[in-house]
Structure 1
Amino acid sequence: MQTFLMLAILLSLVASLILLLVFHDMKIDNRKWHMNIAIFVFLFLLVNALAYSYEAERGKPAYFQMPDVSLWIWWCIVGVIDGLLIWEGFWLHRTRKEKIRQNSIKEAMNVLPIGICYFTEDGYVKLCNEQMYRLFQTIAHRDLQKQEELKEALCLCERYGVSRINNKEIYLFPDGKAWSYRENEVTDRKGKAYTEAIFLDITKKYEEKINLTKQTEQLKEIAKELRYLSDNVLILTREREVLAAKTKLHDQMGAGLTAIRQSLTQENADDKEAVRLFRHAVNAIWNDNQYPLEEGDFERFLQDAKTLGVEVVCVGDLSESEELASICILAMRECLTNGVCHAGATELSIKMQNENHQYSICITNNGAAPDKEIVPKGGLYNISRHVFDYGGEMRIQSFPYFALTITFQEERA
């Protein structure tokens, strides 16, 4: 019985030692730690006392004599201790699943889709996940040991097919994935500083950006074509209105010829009005034949106005910007044809000025005032679109007289 008791105590002693080591690794609270130390010491002393008692029974000298207690009492004590150790074993098994340990942190980091690594102040790896090791292996074809190796590999990443995008911390790997790299300074609870290096997978955003760039280029081409078509529509509209005005002059010429014929066949006929209309039409045709084909757009506009019998009073100079000057000339032509066809204008006033960081042009005529509020459509609408495209502002005044005002900021002009 004593031999079996010693064997049971030895097994309990081994179990207690294992629990002590596990508690130390898991950093269990001090109460359980001290309790298990006391159990271990008690079992160690008990097994030694039984050994000395066993030697004394065999007639050998013993330095320690067991108290005269029944072995069943010692069996009960050891049984209670074993039950306590078994309970602690089950509690420890359940706690190990729930408690965060160093291995748990390492396993959690390996699950992360990002590459992350922590370097000490000396630049050595403190904690690194598998994704970071794989990325560094692709960049440098060796294992990561120090922070300097990572920086050097990023500078020379093109050696192994990894390209840096637009000189930013974005790297395109051979497998087609794009990773963004960044570094942060972090400290632990004790105030010790570490460098955090992170690779973030931005492949989806990178592909979306490429697709968006392609779509933007396509939209620019479409917008360019639409602007070209719109300009052609505007030119055709202007030419149609100029043609209508010239047709009106030809009609006046015909009316003048008819009036002159009637004055020749009738006595005391007033032929002054007929001669005036005829002379006006002949001058218009002559001016049209003198069209300056090799001159600029503004000179051609002045010639068209002269052909239509409209005097242009111009104050100020055109903008030095070709785009804005072209828009202003389009507005002049539109006001010219509208003034002749709808208001019977014979004079067009144009005032251009560049002051207070703004370039503006105001166009009026001496024709009849509009019957109702003018709503931009046709040529005026196309001009407004051009003005807005260049960051300008267009205002139309209908009463008490017509006035078109266009304003551009100086930095755009």
Structure 2
Amino acid sequence: MINIYTLSSTFYIFCMTTAIILFIASSLLYYFLMPQQEFRHLGRKCLEGSNLVVLLAIATILHEVFEDGASGILYIEAMDVWRYGIILISLISTLYMMYDRHAGGQYLLMASFLLLPELDTWLPWSLLLALSCIALRLIRVFPVAYRQYREQLTARSIQSAVDFLEEGVLLSLEKGEPVLVNYVMYDVMEKLLGTVIRNANIFWHILANWNNTERLTMERQGRDFLFRRNDGVAWLMQRRYIRFRNRSGWQISALDVTNLDRVNRELDQKNQLLEKRNEKMKYLLNHLVDMQTQRTTEEMRYKIHDLMGQRITILQQLLNNKNMTNYAAILPLVENVLADMRRETVDNPAERLNVLVRTYGSLGIEVTVTGNLPANQEMAARLVGIIREALTNAILHGKASRVSIELPPTGKRILTIRDNGIGCHGTIQSGNGLQGIERRVRKMGATLHLTGTPHFVLSVEREDDYDSRTHH
């Protein structure tokens, strides 16, 4: 056949540019379809391949027509067997995928039939129409394929997503064959071992048997390993047993815990310091009353010493005085000395309670006492011991600044202690202080009641009514 039409340069450039753009778009379509399930079908692969071949054939015919026209030669179509071959391939692919109307095979089949040599009399409009058919197919198929590519979970998308994780991930079969490894895990392997270990079991075995060096140390934390470099960088290595696709395997993860490790070490140091201070504070609180009593005793001893020295000096002067003939006047002075000694050395529960109130008052802790201790000195001493432990706990653990002590004269309740501290919003744990209180309460045949919220309340009750004023 003979085509007497000669292509202009402008029309040729327009058609070739369109063909190139469609070829690039078709290549992208091929790329987006590759990871999808439907592209595993041989017919779909042939269909997309035929689309690219048809575009190449259109570009080839356009070039021949333009070159022949530019040379002043009429384009004479001979036996173009390859054109019939392209049409046959497109026909077979389209018929093979005819069940899938979304593939747009009908547009490709129409474009391929426009390449028939018998239609060369329509050149270049037949080629332009063929390009239009392919363009219509791309407009219909490309958005769907791209959306499925973005939404469908594929091996490529999984790998891309895992590579964006900040933690290292290595998934392997049970024998250690790797299934999925991200870039962060490769980087961790390089930094820890100086090389990449492909087998997960070998990698974990090396980590588990690591010998500490100046550059890198390992600390076991249960099933996990904490690696620290000398520059402060820290990784937490974890391995967990997993199952996927009816198979078993391992998941090894590497977490950069540099900041967390630094904070934890600082907290550990501060906790140790705080624990030491708490122990010291508890010791001081537990012994503060003893120290106050000891100081009072020392003052009393010096006072007695001074008093005795004064009285003895007077007695010596009286006895050595030759003019002293009335020795009966010496006896009242001796009795005064003994009375002073007795007053200064008595240590009863009521006085001990007063010492507690004064001692904590000197610390800025307001302690108020309502009522009086029982007349029974043994019970009074035990109640003072309970009050002492309760005050220590209220200040040390409850951070209280005010404590009220109620000593009802009658009734089943014989003691109630309240503070304005932070209370205890969880389960009340019995430490040494509470255990000591419980022992004293049991010895009295009473029951201890504790309330942790909103503030701490401690009460001691007897089963029978009790009159503290009459029991001795």
Q: Indicate the TM-score class for this superposition, using the shorter chain for normalisation.
A: 0.5 to 0.7
Shift of 1:104: 4.0
Is the CA contact (8 Å cut-off) linking 2:170 and 2:200 kept in structure 1?
A: no
Shift of 1:184: 3.0
Is the CA contact (8 Å cut-off) linking 2:315 and 2:330 kept in structure 1?
A: no
Relative distance call for 1:221 and 1:28 in structure 2 (3 A) is closer
Is the CA contact (8 Å cut-off) linking 1:183 and 1:197 kept in structure 2?
A: yes
Query: Which protein has greater RCO, CA pairs closer than 8 Å, 6+ apart?
Result: 2
The aligned residue for residue 165 of structure 1 is 219
Shift of 1:211: 1.9
Shift of 1:373: 7.3
How many pairs align?
307
For residue 145 of structure 1, give the secondary structure of its aligned residue in structure 2: coil
Counterpart of 1:399 (choices 350, 370, 373) is: 373
AA at the equivalent of 1:207 = R
1:211 aligns with 2:266: yes
CA distance in 1 between partners of 2:151 and 2:249 (Å): 25
Counterpart of 2:236 (choices 154, 158, 180) is: 180
The aligned residue for residue 123 of structure 1 is 176
Relative distance call for 1:12 and 1:211 in structure 2 (3 A) is closer
Shift of 1:15: 7.7
Is the CA contact (8 Å cut-off) linking 1:124 and 1:146 kept in structure 2?
A: yes
The aligned residue for residue 113 of structure 1 is 166
Shift of 1:22: 3.5
AA at the equivalent of 1:117 = L
The aligned residue for residue 103 of structure 2 is 36
AA at the equivalent of 2:356 = P
Is the CA contact (8 Å cut-off) linking 2:173 and 2:250 kept in structure 1?
A: yes
For residue 165 of structure 1, give the secondary structure of its aligned residue in structure 2: strand
Relative distance call for 1:106 and 1:46 in structure 2 (3 A) is same
Shift of 1:198: 1.1
CA distance in 2 between partners of 1:154 and 1:133 (Å): 15
Mapping of 1:369-408 within 5 angstroms? 374=354, 376-377=356-357, 398-401=372-375, 403-405=380-382, 406=385
Mapping of 1:335-354 within 5 angstroms? 340-341=343-344, 345=346
Mapping of 1:10-409 within 5 angstroms? 18=27, 21-22=30-31, 24-27=33-36, 34-36=101-103, 38-39=105-106, 42=109, 46=113, 50=116, 53=118, 78-88=130-140, 91=143, 95=147, 98-99=150-151, 102-158=155-211, 161-166=215-220, 168=222, 169-188=225-244, 190-219=245-274, 234=292, 236-253=295-312, 265=324, 269=328, 272-276=331-335, 280=338, 340-341=343-344, 345=346, 364=348, 374=354, 376-377=356-357, 398-401=372-375, 403-405=380-382, 406=385, 409=435
AA at the equivalent of 1:144 = I
Shift of 1:148: 0.9
Shift of 1:84: 1.4
CA distance in 2 between partners of 1:16 and 1:272 (Å): 128
Shift of 1:205: 1.9
Relative distance call for 1:200 and 1:164 in structure 2 (3 A) is same
Over the aligned positions, Cα root-mean-square deviation in angstroms equals 5.6
Shift of 1:243: 1.6
CA distance in 2 between partners of 1:45 and 1:93 (Å): 22
Deviations along 1:35-59, one digit per CA (max 9) or x if unpaired, are 43624872586278x25x58xx9xx
228-237 or 213-222, which deviates more? 228-237
Relative distance call for 1:176 and 1:267 in structure 2 (3 A) is closer
Relative distance call for 1:43 and 1:193 in structure 2 (3 A) is farther
CA distance in 2 between partners of 1:268 and 1:94 (Å): 126
For residue 133 of structure 1, give the secondary structure of its aligned residue in structure 2: helix
Relative distance call for 1:105 and 1:241 in structure 2 (3 A) is farther
CA distance in 1 between partners of 2:142 and 2:313 (Å): 118
CA distance in 2 between partners of 1:224 and 1:135 (Å): 43
Shift of 1:158: 3.2
Shift of 1:116: 1.3
Is the CA contact (8 Å cut-off) linking 2:170 and 2:182 kept in structure 1?
A: yes
248-257 or 150-159, which deviates more? 248-257
Shift of 1:94: 5.8
CA distance in 2 between partners of 1:17 and 1:198 (Å): 40
Deviations along 1:370-395, one digit per CA (max 9) or x if unpaired, are 6x97362566889xx9xxxxxxxxx9
Identity score, percent: 14
Shift of 1:89: 7.0
Is the CA contact (8 Å cut-off) linking 2:189 and 2:196 kept in structure 1?
A: yes
Shift of 1:112: 2.2
Is the CA contact (8 Å cut-off) linking 2:104 and 2:140 kept in structure 1?
A: no
Is the CA contact (8 Å cut-off) linking 1:119 and 1:125 kept in structure 2?
A: yes
Shift of 1:171: 1.3
Unaligned runs of 5+ in 1: 58-68, 282-307, 311-339, 349-363, 386-394
CA distance in 2 between partners of 1:396 and 1:254 (Å): 46
Shift of 1:26: 4.2
TM-score, scaled to structure 2: 0.48
Shift of 1:19: 6.7
TM-score, scaled to structure 1: 0.53
Is the CA contact (8 Å cut-off) linking 1:144 and 1:150 kept in structure 2?
A: yes
Is the CA contact (8 Å cut-off) linking 1:162 and 1:174 kept in structure 2?
A: yes
Shift of 1:128: 1.2
AA at the equivalent of 1:84 = L
